[in-house]
Amino acid sequence: MADTINAPGAPGAPGKPGADTNSNGLGSPGNPVPDDMASAIDVKPYTVADHDNTTVDSGAAIPVAVDYVEAQLVELWRDVAMAAQAMGGSQSVTTAQVLNLVVRAKSYKAANSHVEAIELITGRHPSRVIVAATDQEDAEMPVQAWVSIHCQLPPSGGRQVCCELVTVAAGSESERRMAAAIIPLLLPDLPVFCWWPEGDPFDEYVFRNLSDSLNRLIVDSAHFESPEGTLSKMSTQLKTQWPKLAVTDINWGRLTPWREMVAGFFDAPNMRPYLDRIGHVNIEYALTPEHHGHVNRAQALLLAGWLASRLGWETADNIYQLIHSETSPVPRAHLTLRSGKRNITVDLNAVSRKTDTPGDIYSIRLEVPGAQPGSIPAANFSVSLTDREDACAVMRVESEGSSATERTIQLQPLTESDLLDEELEVYSHDVVYEDALSVVGAFIRGTKHTSKSTPMSHKVSSGEPISAAQAQQPRGRPQGPISRGPGG
């Protein structure tokens, strides 16, 4: 590319993002910067136009030659500082950045929605954000870049916090060269996070070519095309191919409140012995009407995998069965595990319910059977969402010989921003997740079908095949030491 800087709207500006500028202005539906969040000073909203032409905005991001991004950012910072001075601000704009965040978007439309989520957390994670977007229309489009700086005014009315946004886009044919444009743009000596909101990254050029530069990969198994297949693949391939890469799953974050609630039953020392007597676990997960036919058991499996790994339950061959019944369109997943001489059965049932994310947990119930005299009495521990629309759950303990206790607690649904926010706090491997994932892999590889017909929902595929040359690329080179943030 020519090493010229294109002013917004100047002749010769690349014709894609922001080129079809109109004056919809702030507040148009789908604008990523809500009015109340927008800074009073020079906001340069993200303006990559999506191709159905519904979100086009004024104040286009500045198209820039890929090798000129840094210089352009310096200019933008100067603009922001001058605007701040013009507003009479006494303090200089601080350019503190704590991390790099690479975001994969399969389209401009997706890019816009991911950037919306990121803007909400700019305050806690001032970062350089690099969106790797695919131009769906022009497969031949070479790698191009756009830059802008976003300033976010905290809702409470503090100072604005700014984050740098670079969009690197390419047509599907040029995607393999995208990583080469991204790597030099990473801020030195700060950790690199990669958020992969859609699908499975492991066979994509962008990920494979970037993987050596990444510290932490954040996937979302709620949006895997074949969740069980990919989870199983992750449980084995991550260890062998990318041992240094810390991987986590947004879906695992969705389980955090559930794990806390379940753990909460056993915080009192006198309740802990029950953990050694659990005989049956029943997990219900949501089968969202609009996702009908696309069963996603990822959360339910990870929750079961977590219990099994923390409590030392052993898996065996053929422990995972899909049991069909007349009453439900979705087969019940049934697992049998062992702990010493004790058998533990786990059922994963689909229930029809409207949720934001496919496969959200609806309830969990741990059952402790009554046993020999002198031992602990039978008890059940359950957490279940209420059916009301008030975002609450009921925690219930029933035990033999005493009355049941019940407690209603708030369970605010976590937005994608909340979840991403949490994942960005941690730089290192999440051992608890990795343990749970290993067990889930073991569950799935032991799959055994008991019904006559092949279940429609359970297909194990491994995504697109990769070439032998790709497969031989060296991966997982050790990363340098990572500096930790305050309190990290």
Partner 1 sequence: MVTVLGTPVVENPLRFGLRMRRTPEPCVLVLFGITGDLAHRKLLPALYNLSVERRLPGNFSLVGVARRPLSHEDFINGVKESVEKYARNKPSQRPGVWASFAQGLSYVQSNFDDPEGYKKLATQLEQVDQERGTLGNRLYYLSTPPDAYPVIVQNLGAAGLANTRPVASPNGNGSNIHQPLPQTDTSWRRIIVEKPFGHDLPSAQQLNRQISEVFQEDQIYRIDHYLGKETVQNILVFRFANGIWEPIWSRRYIDSVQITVAESLGVEDRASYYDNAGALRDMLQNHMMQLLTLVAMEPPTAFEAQSVRDEKAKVLRAIKPFTPAEVAQNTIRGQYGPGSIYGKPVPGYRQEQGVPPDSETETYVAARFFVDNWRWSGVPFYLRHGKRLPKRDTEIAIQFKPAPLALFQATSADELQPNVLVLHIQPDEGISIKFESKLPGQEIRLRSVDMNFNYGASFGVESSDAYERLLSDAMIGDSTLFTRRDEVELMWQLATSILEGWKRIPPPTFPNYRAGSWGPAVADDFIARDGRTWRRV
- Interacting residue ranges for partner 1, rule: CB under 8 A: 91-94, 96, 98, 122-124, 126, 152, 154, 156, 158-161, 256-257, 259-275, 307, 310-311, 376-377, 379, 386, 388, 390-392, 395, 397, 399, 401-402, 405-410, 422, 425-426, 430-432, 486-487
Nearer to partner 1, 388 or 452 (CB): 388
The structure tokens listed for 481 are: 């030491």
Nearer to partner 1, 270 or 372 (CB): 270
The structure tokens listed for 383 are: 């957490």
What's the CA gap between 424 and 216, in Å, rounded?
9
What's the CA gap between 100 and 68, in Å, rounded?
18
Nearer to partner 1, 150 or 223 (CB): 150
Nearer to partner 1, 130 or 393 (CB): 393
What's the CA gap between 67 and 4, in Å, rounded?
10
Residue 15: which of 39, 42, 41, 51 has the closest Cα? 51
Contact status, residue 126 vs residue 96, Cβ threshold 8 Å: yes
Q: CB of residue 302 vs partner 1: minimum separation in angstroms?
A: 13
Q: CB of residue 219 vs partner 1: minimum separation in angstroms?
A: 18
Q: CB of residue 316 vs partner 1: minimum separation in angstroms?
A: 21
What's the CA gap between 155 and 98, in Å, rounded?
21
Nearer to partner 1, 32 or 123 (CB): 123
Amino acid letter at 40?
A
Q: CB of residue 435 vs partner 1: minimum separation in angstroms?
A: 9
Q: CB of residue 121 vs partner 1: minimum separation in angstroms?
A: 9
Q: CB of residue 480 vs partner 1: minimum separation in angstroms?
A: 17
Nearer to partner 1, 39 or 209 (CB): 39
Nearer to partner 1, 144 or 160 (CB): 160
Whole-angstrom Cα Rg for the chain: 25
Q: CB of residue 242 vs partner 1: minimum separation in angstroms?
A: 21
Using DSSP's 3-state secondary structure scheme, residue 426 falls into coil
Q: What is the DSSP string of 208-249?
A: HHHGGG-SEEEE-GGG-SSHHHHHHHHHHHHHHH-TT-EEEE
Determine the distance from the C-alpha atom of residue 72 to the mean position of all C-alpha atoms in its chain, rounded to a whole number. 30
What's the CA gap between 90 and 291, in Å, rounded?
53
Q: CB of residue 265 vs partner 1: minimum separation in angstroms?
A: 8
Nearer to partner 1, 426 or 456 (CB): 426
Name 164's bridge partners: 128, 149
Nearer to partner 1, 98 or 101 (CB): 98
What's the CA gap between 11 and 217, in Å, rounded?
39
What's the CA gap between 285 and 211, in Å, rounded?
33
Q: CB of residue 39 vs partner 1: minimum separation in angstroms?
A: 11
Nearer to partner 1, 12 or 485 (CB): 485
Q: CB of residue 272 vs partner 1: minimum separation in angstroms?
A: 6
Q: CB of residue 427 vs partner 1: minimum separation in angstroms?
A: 13
Name 262's bridge partners: none
Q: Exposed, middle or buried by CB within 10 Å (0-12, 13-18, 19+), for 241?
A: middle
Residues in the chain: 488
Contact status, residue 331 vs residue 439, Cβ threshold 8 Å: no
Nearer to partner 1, 60 or 366 (CB): 366
Q: How many CB atoms lie within 10 A of CB 15?
A: 12
What's the CA gap between 176 and 43, in Å, rounded?
32
